[in-house]
């Protein structure tokens, strides 16, 4: 039997009642950066995203559009795929819950639970939010019986359904949380999950009979599976659960499910319980990030604060788009998007700090060294000591990526970018040139180009286009995509004599918006 050899990272699968906004893209970009980061570190990676296409909410949206649900989802899914291309998302697969490969395996998994007596029929009545596709208890509702997430009226729903014996798995869940305190991150959220389980788990309904848009329940004609059972199972159906045991064993359990905090309960309680019931291992880690706020509120289309990736990419470019959200907001906490803060990041971090040093260094190599990387003439000396410290701090700090602390990782990387700026100022290659100090000039400009190479490697998970452009300017013979850490960040690996090409500015001045 194969053993796990793949780093497996997922995003939630997105409801296709809508086109993607920056809140959805936030999770997707973060997952992409992690996937690229692990590939850079030499891991075999499987990065999954996709769309959640069943359920009452989708069926209603389709009806409003006077389409069949299938027509509606087929019409919207291409918009999601476009977003992936626009944002340079390097997913290895894209799963749609309407695909036969998924539906068949969902039925197989659920049949397993049924056969072993984990499902029973009962009637349930309670307040239901169609947007969440979830029941609430009365005391979870806010204001005048509104859904706590969507702040819209709930519906009183009474259905005879098949129920999953969730309550039976409470001891297994508590054991999971105790033995794997990193299962839920950030760590504060584990307490939230644990308290929820300790307060007493209710069994949850696993089928619906009031509508047809779902995966048919094999043992109960007229019932379809509750959309969350169907949706969560995407994480195993996409990696060949029930179809190819070897392929499945190489990827499962997932290393990390990236999700927003609103769907933590589904991922940290229901999902591991389903897996334990089905005899599968729970995922290794569930990381819940915060919400993007606009004007103090959760950004969403329904409160008219909807902002779409294409609008921002058109103005700031895709690299800044990817950089901004991860650098500006602590992953795990809520954070405010504003046009002004994005403009400030572009101007300060990208154009002034990074773009400028690239331009200056390559200009000087052009004018003082005939456009070729000069010979350093020996190992780095005392003049390079501070820069060497910044380099070491950046390489070390980038490891925060593994804990999904993108902000800290990027701050660390920028110590090197700023350090390089300081080094250029301190060494003043223009005066070395003027004084004819050829040896020092060679060492200084070699060191600068060498650090730009390291920077290109280290920014590549976050800003793949800018990294590629910078790499090309440096005239390096190897392919950026073949670089692997830690070797690729070692100083001194830049070949002498390579022809650099200043080319266009990496981050040109922004047009007036
Ligand atoms: N279909 C379910 C997930 C099923 S996973 C097995 C779903 N879809 S969703 O499209 O409504 O949301 C997908 C993700 O987008 C969630 O992680 C949610 O937190 C995230 N976001 C939606 N709006 C957001 C913000 N304004 N800010 C940050 N993320 C937000 O839930």
Question: Hey, what long-range contacts does 489-493 have (CB within 8 A, 24 or more apart)?
Answer: 489/391, 489/395, 489/454, 489/457, 489/458, 491/380, 491/388, 491/391, 491/447, 491/450, 491/451, 491/454, 492/376, 492/450, 493/450, 493/453
Mean pLDDT by 10 residues, the chain (513 residues): 94 93 96 98 98 94 95 97 98 98 97 97 88 85 89 87 96 98 96 96 91 95 95 98 95 98 97 98 98 86 80 96 98 95 97 97 97 92 93 98 98 98 97 96 98 98 98 95 97 95 93 64
Q: Which of 102, 132, 223, 289 is catalytic?
A: 132
φ/ψ (deg, to 5) at 353: -80, -60
Q: How far apart are CA 105 and CA 215, in angstroms?
A: 10
Q: How far apart are CA 207 and CA 121, in angstroms?
A: 10
**Ligand 1 neighbour 27 (Cβ under 6 A):** yes
Atom 16, ligand 1: residue with shortest CA distance: 260
**Ligand 1 neighbour 53 (Cβ under 6 A):** no
Which CATH code of 1.10.730.10, 3.40.50.300, 1.10.357.10, 3.40.50.2000 fits the domain covering 339-489?
Answer: 1.10.730.10
Q: Which of 298, 407, 433, 473 is catalytic?
A: 298
In the CATH hierarchy, which fold is given to the domain comprising 7-289?
Answer: Rossmann fold (3.40.50)
CA–centroid distance, 261 to ligand 1, in Å, is 9
Judge whether 21 counts as a catalytic residue. Answer: yes
Judge whether 391 counts as a catalytic residue. Answer: no
Q: Which residue has the tokens 């969440």?
A: 132
The pLDDT of residue 303 is 64
Atom of ligand 1 at shortest distance to CA of 258? 17
Structural domain boundaries of the chain?
A: 7-289, 339-489
Atom of ligand 1 at shortest distance to CA of 299? 26
Atom 7, ligand 1: residue with shortest CA distance: 14
For ligand 1, mutation pick of 20, 25, 27, 50 (most atoms within 8 Å of CB): 27
Residue 121 has which token pair?
């029929």
Judge whether 217 counts as a catalytic residue. Answer: no
**Ligand 1 neighbour 260 (Cβ under 6 A):** yes
The pLDDT of residue 506 is 96
The pLDDT of residue 277 is 98
118, β-bridge pairs: none
The pLDDT of residue 306 is 81
């Amino acid at each position: 039997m194969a053993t796990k050899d793949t780093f497996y990272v997922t995003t939630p699968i997105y409801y296709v009642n809508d086109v993607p906004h920056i809140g959805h893209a936030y999770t997707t970009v973060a997952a992409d950066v992690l996937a690229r980061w692990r590939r850079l570190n030499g891991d075999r990676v499987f990065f999954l995203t996709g769309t959640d296409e069943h359920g009452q909410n989708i069926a209603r949206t389709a009806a409003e559009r006077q389409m069949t649900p299938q027509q509606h989802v087929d019409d919207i899914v291409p918009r999601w795929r476009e977003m992936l291309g626009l944002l340079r998302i390097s997913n290895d697969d894209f799963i749609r819950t309407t695909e036969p490969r998924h539906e068949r395996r969902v039925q197989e998994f659920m049949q397993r639970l049924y056969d072993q007596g984990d499902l029973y029929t009962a009637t349930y009545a309670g307040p239901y939010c169609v947007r969440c596709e979830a029941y609430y208890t009365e005391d979870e509702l806010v204001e005048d019986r509104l859904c706590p997430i969507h702040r819209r009226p709930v519906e009183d729903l009474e259905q005879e359904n098949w129920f999953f014996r969730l309550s039976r798995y409470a001891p297994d869940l508590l054991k999971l949380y105790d033995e794997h305190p990193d299962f839920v991150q950030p760590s504060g959220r584990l307490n939230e999950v644990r308290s929820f389980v300790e307060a007493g788990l209710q069994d949850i309904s696993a089928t619906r009979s009031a509508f047809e848009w779902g995966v048919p329940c094999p043992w109960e004609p007229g019932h379809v599976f509750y959309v969350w059972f169907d949706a969560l199972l995407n994480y195993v159906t996409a990696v060949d659960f029930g179809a190819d045991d070897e392929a499945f064993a190489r990827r499962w359990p997932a290393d990390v499910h990236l999700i927003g905090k609103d769907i933590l309960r589904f991922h940290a309680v229901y999902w591991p319980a389903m897996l334990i019931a089905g005899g599968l291992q729970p995922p290794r880690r569930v990381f819940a990030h915060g919400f993007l706020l606009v004007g103090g509120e959760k950004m969403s289309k329904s409160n008219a604060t909807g902002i779409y990736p294409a609008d921002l990419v058109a103005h700031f470019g895709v690299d800044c788009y990817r950089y901004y959200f991860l650098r500006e907001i602590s992953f795990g906490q809520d954070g405010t998007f504003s046009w002004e803060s994005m403009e400030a990041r572009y101007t300060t971090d990208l154009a002034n700090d990074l773009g400028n040093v690239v331009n200056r260094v390559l200009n000087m190599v052009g004018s003082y060294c005939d456009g070729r990387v000069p010979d350093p003439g020996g190992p780095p000396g005392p003049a390079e000591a501070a820069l060497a410290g910044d380099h070491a701090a950046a390489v070390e700090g980038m490891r925060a990526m593994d804990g999904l602390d993108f902000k800290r990782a990027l701050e660390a990387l920028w110590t090197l970018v700023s350090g390089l700026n300081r080094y250029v100022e301190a060494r003043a290659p223009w005066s070395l040139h003027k004084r004819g100090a050829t040896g020092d000039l060679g060492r200084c400009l070699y060191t600068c180009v060498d650090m730009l190479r390291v920077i290109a490697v280290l920014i590549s998970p976050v800003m793949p286009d800018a990294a590629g452009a910078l790499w090309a300017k440096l005239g390096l013979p190897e392919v950026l995509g073949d670089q692997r850490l830690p070797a690729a960040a070692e100083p001194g690996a830049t070949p002498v004599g390579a022809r650099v090409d200043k080319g266009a500015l990496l981050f040109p001045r922004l047009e007036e918006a």
